[in-house]
């Protein structure tokens, strides 16, 4: 089932999510609905707050032809997509950083260059309930960092350069006001 998206200005996007205690049927149903919603929205990642939930849960799907190095070799051939990440935790960041254009389904039409560590060590619970660890790099590492930020109430605009944020401030204020009005908060 496709779930309704939450947009910038919705307080749930600033909430820190709660750890999942046990992997239940209901949680797996939610994860499946999030994967379907991500596909329908043509996104590469979706975090629970973006559909109004507060579980520490996000889903990621980077197409195989994007998950490649400069020579076209697959970077993470051992990782199946979509990834369902329960209680994900980034346990290490590389010193190397990279800047790249990002967008977010909760900010339609808004993008900006975001500098992030190139590689991470990621630990998470799988739908089967086991805890696994992976080293991620490149675009997949970036998407996971973006989604784990969401689980901590951190949004990509928080990581934009001050100059870009100033340039976007009018549009962001308008988006926030529209969301608040739609929610009956304004
Ligand atoms: Ni996002």
Could you tell me where the DSSP H helices lie in the chain? 25-40, 138-151, 162-182
Between CA 45 and CA 170 the distance in angstroms is 26
Ligand 1 centroid–CA 70 distance in Å is: 26
Ligand 1 centroid–CA 109 distance in Å is: 12
- Give the per-residue pLDDT at 174: 97
- Give the per-residue pLDDT at 186: 73
Neighbours of ion ligand 1 (CB under 5 A): 104
Contact indicator for 82, 35 with CB cutoff of 8 Å? yes
- Give the per-residue pLDDT at 18: 98
Catalytic, 102? Answer no
- Give the per-residue pLDDT at 180: 96
The pLDDT averaged over each successive group of 10 residues in the chain (186 residues) is: 97 98 98 98 98 98 95 96 98 98 97 98 97 97 98 98 96 97 90
- Give the per-residue pLDDT at 185: 87
Q: Name the catalytic one among 26, 98, 101, 147.
A: 147
pTM above 0.85, yes or no: yes
């Amino acid at each position: 089932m496709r779930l309704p998206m939450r947009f910038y200005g919705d307080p749930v996007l600033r909430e820190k999510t709660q750890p999942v205690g046990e992997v239940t049927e209901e949680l797996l149903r939610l994860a499946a609905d999030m994967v379907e919603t991500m596909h329908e929205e043509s996104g590469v990642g979706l975090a629970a707050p973006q559909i109004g939930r507060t579980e520490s849960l996000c889903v990621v799907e980077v197409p195989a032809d994007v998950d490649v190095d400069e020579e076209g070799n697959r970077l993470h051939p051992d990782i199946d997509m979509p990834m369902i990440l329960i209680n994900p935790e980034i346990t290490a960041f590389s010193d190397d950083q990279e800047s790249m254009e990002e967008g977010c389904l909760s900010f339609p039409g808004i993008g900006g260059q975001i500098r992030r560590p190139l590689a991470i060590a990621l630990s998470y619970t799988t739908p089967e309930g086991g805890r696994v660890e992976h080293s991620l790099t490149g675009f997949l590492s970036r998407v996971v960092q973006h989604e784990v930020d969401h689980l901590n109430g951190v949004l990509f605009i928080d990581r934009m350069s001050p100059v870009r944020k100033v340039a976007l401030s009018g549009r962001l204020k308008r988006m926030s006001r529209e969301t608040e009005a739609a929610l009956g908060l304004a």
